[in-house]
């Protein structure tokens, strides 16, 4: 599977699987992090874990949907961002006892990668169901990133109160 | 001949028989003059429910009735007019603070129900609601003063090389004129976090009764001298006078009262606790406005209060965060002296969590109040922030207050657009002027001027003092010298232009123009973005035992935490200013006091 | 001219106390209430007449039907709240109250109304005087059976009320002269429309001259009737047209100029006979003076400028201790406000000097005995009195 990622073309199924894996990894990463952070900022990590879990569920529903089934084998151009995407899956770099700002910065970086991936996928697919799916996912990531940024501003830039 | 004329002449009146009658056959429907004082209209969105119309009406024809939920600056009340009493003098229109109340030129209204003629203009729909014509007040309102009495200030050149207080304060004459403008609507009382009785203390100024004024101040705020100088004065944004004019200078009037009562007289008026000692003990962690307010209240209830303060002097952020030119230390000391006179023990230089553990306090006291403020300065954590030459504003301000030596390079860049950023910029400017003879401070803020967080007057005064403020810049990197003699030293701050900072819903969503990159040269970068509370003093176990809500200690509306012996107040839980902390202090003291009373009942 | 000459020996004679001894039981006398519901009465008051035949032997004036306690009400109102009340002290010429009160308050509070306001106030007072005279003209005609004069004058007055309406926002109670100034500027094109009214008025007044003043009946019924001996002017406090009809050339507009009267050109109108005719004639000629003054004011007044002085916050306006008396020449004579302040937010005392107080009570009671019942209405109207200013 690793080598497959290096070729130019890939299938929709594979892309969606990579994406789901990304979220699954993230979910377990955040879940592991929960007990490590102090209780006062635990809500942040818990929220992030919940969001990733919701993401995983959404993707799995998507793959199972009858409309999607016909398109799963469609070949699509592998996104440039895919490399960084895989990196994010592989290399979560966050200290043992991160504070709220570190957690948020990490989460923001992840959202950025996901956003770029989906945007590129959407751009690479012709109009149709797959295009719509990727566009939807890109929008979803944009919204989540906006939420995180607002939270970041609230916590870091406005006195913490 | 004359007699004959006298007989015949009257018959000339008959010529009117062949003239067109002048009588209006059907006067119903005749349009009144453009400026006729007909039935009332009220622009319900513009109206703030201040009730000035109700006050001025000599017929008592107007009742203010609730029509919506009150919000800051709007009581939610609207005038209901009784046309059985109204005399259409239109004084209500003339006095209207917002210009929302007007009159149409409609004057016929037929209804079989006499109660229909009591109505709420603008709320009860009427055919004349949208009529353009009718009585409008000509020009600005003249029945209540519109312009604020200007406050005297030290000119920039006289203040830039020292920390002398800038604001001069009102003279009695000035205060009288300013106090006269108040319409006593009380919108400010609702908005003030401590619900200070503003109209009444302003009335005391008009009466020249400063003793009474001080007494009123102390009913709700033991930090009136401080608040008279540095309050964020939300009251003034709710002030009815701000519509079509300047808001009343409530903050300066408060200061004026305290300025006019000597320290001795103040102690006399406030007095000492009248309650018998209860034998209950309360520990308060942090001698800031919230902690000391709670201490004041609890001491006056007869409880023994000990306040622990990590710094060398009490006052918290009021002393260590606010520069002296805005709040002289002796003004703060006078407020604290009154609190200390209530028998409050203030132990300074004691850091809870280090010298004394929270558990110990829990064991020795009946209740503990945590009022620790926000003393950790946040960092942007952009590349280059680690290392020498980058400082947190909050630390620098504290060190300046403590009289420590702080680095004063010729060029300083401040990151941040709030009042703390202005405080450090202006403090550094003063130190630079002293040391180098010139000011070299640049403030870079994410926000554009339209969304600036700092008060307008802070921005204006900063400009006056020669400080450069560059708005809408997103910090990207603290650039350091890569080689040479100064290798590793700060070279400047690299920023991108911010094209927009908030999205359609007003949420933070910065958009940068990476093409517009600038390097602001600096020898030191000061970060003045956000602040956080140092909750590590609680210790791991207590932190784990307590309930939290989105990063903050969870407290009930009275300020009590999930641990029955621990309350929290001030910036760390509510924030973000002195008056909110004072309000919080009162709230917590009431809750603690109630618990201690209950304990007393049980013991008996 | 045929005049009824009664046998005066039949009349009641004064008793020891100087009062007439009227014994109604004798059947010689008839009590007749003239008003308050009577078309021949001036407003809401009444005169209790005692008749012997058709000659009036005694008249007692009864007032109080309109009493609303204005002066007391004012003591319970803030200085600004008094403003809407004062106009109600006199319905046909309310503006004098507004001006006197505003002027008194300004004097005690140390405020001066701007020039524009002074001119506008003068204009309003002359318009009010004009209207008041319209009622007087119509009234005297009506009292002598010439109802058409009343109809004409009512029409002309209505036209002037239209000007009041567009200028002040109200027809009767204008409430335009605030302490500190006036409420606004004249509407666009006001002078032109005013000129139309004045021209119409002059046309109708020429008809009045022909139908009423050049009229054998009117002359017969007014000349030599209701004569006030000029010696009574001083003790009875007779002022205004009632005194000027007796040759007294006194007019406060000239003698103690207020507002901008010192900048205006006019003559004081007088007659000499001091009878009903002379009083009607003085008023008729004074209308011409008012018309001329209105034209002068509109021509001379500044085109723009502030209309209000800077006031303290009226919601808690306190005026220092003091007292003042402000008077002006109303259409009925000297109209004045005596205002006492005590440093509080309320007037300590307001006393209204309405000329009708003396004219309609003491003077009327003095003039009535000996008149014919048919002349009572004309006599009353010729004194031109308004009851509400009697019972403030």
**Pairwise CA distance, residues C164 & C132, whole Å:** 13
Q: Does C166 touch chain B (CB under 8 A)?
A: yes
Region A102-106: mean pLDDT is 87
Can you give the CATH number for the domain in which A24 is found?
1.20.1260.10
Write out pLDDT tens, residues B192-236: 999 999 999 999 999 999 999 999 999 999 999 999 999 999 999
Residue B8, CB half-sphere, CA atoms under 13 Å: how many?
5
**Pairwise CA distance, residues B197 & B254, whole Å:** 11
User: Tokens 């990622």 map to which residue?
Assistant: A5
User: Tokens 């046998």 map to which residue?
Assistant: C7
Of B533, B563, B532, residue with least CA distance to B546 = B563
Segments making up each domain of chain C, as ranges: 8-62, 74-389
Residues 121-180 of B with CB under 8 A from C: 135, 138-139, 142-145, 180
Residues near B65 by beta carbon (within 8 Å), at least 6 away in sequence: B77, B78, B79, B80, B120
Contact B525, B389 (CB under 8 A): yes
Write out pLDDT tens, residues C230-254: 999 999 999 999 999 999 999 999 9
Residues near B237 by beta carbon (within 8 Å), at least 6 away in sequence: B72, B73, B191, B247
| CB within 8 Å: C308 and B94 | no
Q: How far is Cα of residue A23 from the mean position of the Cα atoms in its chain?
A: 5
Domain count, chain A: 1
Q: Using pLDDT thresholds of 50, 70 and 90, give the confidence band for residue C267.
A: very high
In chain A, what is the straight-line distance between the N-terminal and C-terminal CA atoms, in Å? 47
Nearest by CB to C84, which of B22, B91, B206? B91
Out of 3.50.90.10, 3.40.50.300, 3.40.50.2000, 3.30.70.3270, select the CATH number for domain B40-119. Answer: 3.30.70.3270
pLDDT number for residue A129: 81
Of B403, B364, B406, B401, residue with least CA distance to B389 = B406
State yes or no: pLDDT of B294 exceeds 90: yes
State yes or no: pLDDT of B170 exceeds 70: yes
B389: how many CB neighbours lie within 10 A of its CB? Answer: 19
**Pairwise CA distance, residues B146 & B182, whole Å:** 10
Closest CA of chain A from B294, distance in Å? 20
Q: Taking all residues of chain C, what is their mean pLDDT, rounded to a whole number?
A: 92
Q: Tell me, yes or no, whether chains A and B touch by having 3 or more C-beta pairs under 8 A.
A: yes
Segments making up each domain of chain B, as ranges: 40-119, 156-269, 274-375+535-603, 376-531
Contact B208, B171 (CB under 8 A): no
pLDDT number for residue A5: 44
CATH code linked to domain B156-269: 1.10.1060.10
| CB within 8 Å: B553 and A39 | no
**H/E segment holding residue B256:** helix B250-259
Residues near B534 by beta carbon (within 8 Å), at least 6 away in sequence: B372, B375, B376
State yes or no: pLDDT of B584 exceeds 90: yes
pLDDT number for residue B209: 97
CATH code linked to domain B376-531: 3.50.50.60
Beta pairing partners, C1: none
Nearest by CB to B9, which of C78, C185, C215? C215
Beta pairing partners, B415: B444, B527
DSSP-assigned states of every residue in C243-269:
HHTTT----HHHHS--TTGGGS-----
Contact C391, C63 (CB under 8 A): yes
**Pairwise CA distance, residues B4 & B6, whole Å:** 5
Q: Give the three-class secondary structure for B498.
A: strand
Q: Does B408 touch chain C (CB under 8 A)?
A: no
Q: How far is Cα of residue A3 from the mean position of the Cα atoms in its chain?
A: 22
Contact A49, A30 (CB under 8 A): yes
More confident residue, C199 or C392: C199
Write out pLDDT tens, residues A36-73: 888 888 998 999 999 889 988 988 888 888 887 777 77
pLDDT number for residue A6: 42
Residues near A128 by beta carbon (within 8 Å), at least 6 away in sequence: A71
Contact C23, C65 (CB under 8 A): no
Write out pLDDT tens, residues A22-35: 888 889 988 988 88
More confident residue, B331 or A4: B331
Contact B443, B137 (CB under 8 A): no
Using CA coordinates, name the residue in chain C closest to B207: C318
pLDDT number for residue A4: 42
At residue C334, what are phi and psi to the nearest 5 degrees? -70, 120
Q: Does CATH place domain C74-389 in 1.10.645.10?
A: yes
pLDDT number for residue B502: 81
| CB within 8 Å: C207 and B10 | no
Q: Quote the domain boundaries for residue A141.
A: 3-157
Q: Give the three-class secondary structure for B413.
A: strand
Residues in B closer than 8 angstroms to C81, CB to CB, are 56, 58, 91
| CB within 8 Å: B183 and C313 | yes
Residues in A closer than 8 angstroms to B548, CB to CB, are 39-40, 42-43
Q: Give the three-class secondary structure for B96.
A: coil
Region B356-381: mean pLDDT is 94
* Two structure tokens written together for B245: 């004019």
Closest CA of chain C from B185, distance in Å? 11
CATH code linked to domain B274-375+535-603: 3.50.50.60
Residues in B closer than 8 angstroms to C82, CB to CB, are 58
Residues in A closer than 8 angstroms to B543, CB to CB, are 38-40
Closest CA of chain B from C107, distance in Å? 18
ipTM score for this prediction: 0.91
């Amino acid at each position: 599977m690793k080598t497959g990622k290096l070729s130019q073309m890939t299938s929709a199924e594979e892309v969606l699987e990579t994406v789901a894996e990304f979220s699954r990894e993230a979910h377990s990463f955040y879940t592991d992090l929960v007990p490590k952070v102090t209780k006062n900022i635990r809500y942040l990590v818990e929220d992030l874990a919940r969001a990733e879990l919701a993401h995983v569920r959404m993707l799995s529903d998507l793959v199972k949907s009858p409309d999607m089934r016909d398109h799963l084998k469609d070949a699509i151009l592998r996104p440039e961002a895919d490399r960084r995407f895989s990196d994010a899956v592989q290399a979560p770099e966050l200290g043992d006892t991160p504070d709220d700002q570190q957690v948020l910065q990490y989460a923001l970086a992840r959202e950025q990668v996901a956003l770029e991936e989906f945007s590129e996928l959407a751009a690479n697919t012709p109009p149709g169901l797959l295009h719509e799916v990727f566009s939807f996912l890109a929008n979803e990531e944009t919204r989540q990133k906006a939420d995180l940024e607002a939270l970041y501003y609230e916590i870091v830039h406005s006195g913490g109160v | 001949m004359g007699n004959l004329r006298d007989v015949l002449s009257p018959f000339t009146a008959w010529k009117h028989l062949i003239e067109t009658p002048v009588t209006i056959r059907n006067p119903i429907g005749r349009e009144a003059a453009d400026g006729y004082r007909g039935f009332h209209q009220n622009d319900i969105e513009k109206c703030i429910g201040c009730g000035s119309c109700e006050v001025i009406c000599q017929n008592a024809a107007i009742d203010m009735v609730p029509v919506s939920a009150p919000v800051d600056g709007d009581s939610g009340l609207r005038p209901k007019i009784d046309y059985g009493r109204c005399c259409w003098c239109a004084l209500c229109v003339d006095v209207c603070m917002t210009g929302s109340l007007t009159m149409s030129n409609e004057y016929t209204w037929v209804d079989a129900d006499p109660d229909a003629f009591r109505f709420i203009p603008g709320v009860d729909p009427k055919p004349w609601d949208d009529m353009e014509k009718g009585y409008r007040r000509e020009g600005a309102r003249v029945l209540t003063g519109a312009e604020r009495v200007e406050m005297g200030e030290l000119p920039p050149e006289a203040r830039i090389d020292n920390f002398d207080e800038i604001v001069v304060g009102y003279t009695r004459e000035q205060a009288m004129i300013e106090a006269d403008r108040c319409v006593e609507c009380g919108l400010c009382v609702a908005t003030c976090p401590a619900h200070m009785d503003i109209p009444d203390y302003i009335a005391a100024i008009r009466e020249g009764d400063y003793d009474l004024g001080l007494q009123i101040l102390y009913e709700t705020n033991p930090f009136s001298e401080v608040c008279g100088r540095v309050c964020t004065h939300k009251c003034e944004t709710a002030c009815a006078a701000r519509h079509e004019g300047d808001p009343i200078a409530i903050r300066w009037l408060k200061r004026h009262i305290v300025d006019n009562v000597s320290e001795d007289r103040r102690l006399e008026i406030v007095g000492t606790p009248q309650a018998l000692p209860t034998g209950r003990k309360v520990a308060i962690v942090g001698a800031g406005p919230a902690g000391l307010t709670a201490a004041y209240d609890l001491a006056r209830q007869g409880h023994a209060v000990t306040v622990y303060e990590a710094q060398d002097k009490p006052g918290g952020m009021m002393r260590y965060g606010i520069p002296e030119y805005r709040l002289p230390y002796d003004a703060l000391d006078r407020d604290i002296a009154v609190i200390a006179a209530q028998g409050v023990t203030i132990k300074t230089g004691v850091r809870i969590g280090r010298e004394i553990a929270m558990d110990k306090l829990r064991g020795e006291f009946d209740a503990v109040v945590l009022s620790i403020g926000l003393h950790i300065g946040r960092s942007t954590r952009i590349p280059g922030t680690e290392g020498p030459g980058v400082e947190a504003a909050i630390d620098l301000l504290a060190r300046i207050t403590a009289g420590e030596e702080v680095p004063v390079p010729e060029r300083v860049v401040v990151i941040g657009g709030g009042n703390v950023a202005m405080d450090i910029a202006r403090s550094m400017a003063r130190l630079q002027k002293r040391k180098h003879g010139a000011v070299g401070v640049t403030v870079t803020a994410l926000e554009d001027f339209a969304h600036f967080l700092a008060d307008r007057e802070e921005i204006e005064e900063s400009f006056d003092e020669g400080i450069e403020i560059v708005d809408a810049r997103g910090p990207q990197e603290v650039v350091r010298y890569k080689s040479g003699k100064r290798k590793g030293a700060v070279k400047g701050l690299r920023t991108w232009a911010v094209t927009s900072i908030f999205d359609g819903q007003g949420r933070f969503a910065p958009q940068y123009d990476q093409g517009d990159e600038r390097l602001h040269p600096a020898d030191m970068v000061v970060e003045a973005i956000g602040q956080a509370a140092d909750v590590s003093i609680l210790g791991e176990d207590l932190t784990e035992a307590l309930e939290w809500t989105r990063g903050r200690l969870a407290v009930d509306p009275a300020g009590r935490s999930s641990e029955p012996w621990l309350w929290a107040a001030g910036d760390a839980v509510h924030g973000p200013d002195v008056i909110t902390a004072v309000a919080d202090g009162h709230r917590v003291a009431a809750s603690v006091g109630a618990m201690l009373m209950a304990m007393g009942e049980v013991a008996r | 001219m045929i005049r009824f000459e009664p046998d005066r020996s039949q009349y009641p004679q004064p008793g020891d106390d100087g009062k007439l001894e009227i014994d109604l039981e004798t059947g010689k006398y008839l009590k007749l209430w003239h008003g308050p519901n009577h078309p021949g009465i001036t407003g809401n008051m009444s005169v209790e007449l005692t008749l012997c035949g058709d000659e009036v032997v005694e008249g007692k004036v009864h007032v109080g039907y309109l009493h609303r306690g204005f002066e007391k009400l004012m003591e319970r109102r803030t200085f600004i709240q008094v403003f809407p009340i004062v106009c109600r002290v006199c319905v046909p010429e309310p503006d004098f109250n507004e001006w006197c009160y505003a002027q008194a308050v300004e004097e005690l509070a140390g405020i001066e109304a701007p020039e524009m306001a002074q001119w506008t106030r003068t204009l309003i007072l002359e318009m009010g005087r004009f209207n008041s005279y319209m009622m007087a003209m119509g009234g005297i005609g009506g009292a002598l059976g010439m109802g058409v004069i009343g109809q004409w004058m009512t029409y002309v007055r209505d036209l002037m009320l239209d000007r009041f309406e567009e200028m002040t926002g109200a027809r009767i109670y204008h409430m335009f002269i605030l302490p500190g100034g006036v409420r606004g500027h004249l509407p666009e094109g006001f002078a032109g429309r005013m000129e139309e009214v004045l021209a119409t008025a002059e046309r109708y007044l020429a008809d009045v001259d022909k139908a009423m003043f050049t009229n054998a009946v009117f002359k017969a019924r007014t000349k030599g009737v209701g004569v006030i001996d000029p010696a009574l002017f001083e003790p009875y406090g007779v002022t205004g047209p009632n005194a000027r009809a007796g040759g007294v050339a006194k007019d406060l507009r000239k003698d103690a100029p207020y507002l901008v009267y010192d900048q205006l050109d006019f003559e004081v109108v007088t007659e000499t006979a001091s009878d009903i005719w002379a009083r009607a004639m003085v008023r008729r000629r004074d209308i011409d003076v008012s018309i001329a003054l209105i034209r002068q004011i509109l021509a001379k007044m500044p085109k723009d400028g502030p209309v209000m002085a800077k006031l303290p916050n009226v919601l808690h306006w306190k005026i220092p201790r003091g007292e003042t008396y402000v008077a002006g020449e109303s259409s009925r004579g000297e109209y004045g406000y005596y205002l006492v302040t005590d440093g509080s937010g309320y007037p300590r005392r307001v006393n209204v000097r309405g000329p009708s107080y003396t004219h309609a009570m003491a003077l009327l009671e003095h003039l009535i005995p000996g008149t014919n019942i048919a002349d009572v209405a004309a006599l009353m109207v010729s004194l031109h009195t308004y009851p509400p200013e009697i019972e403030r």
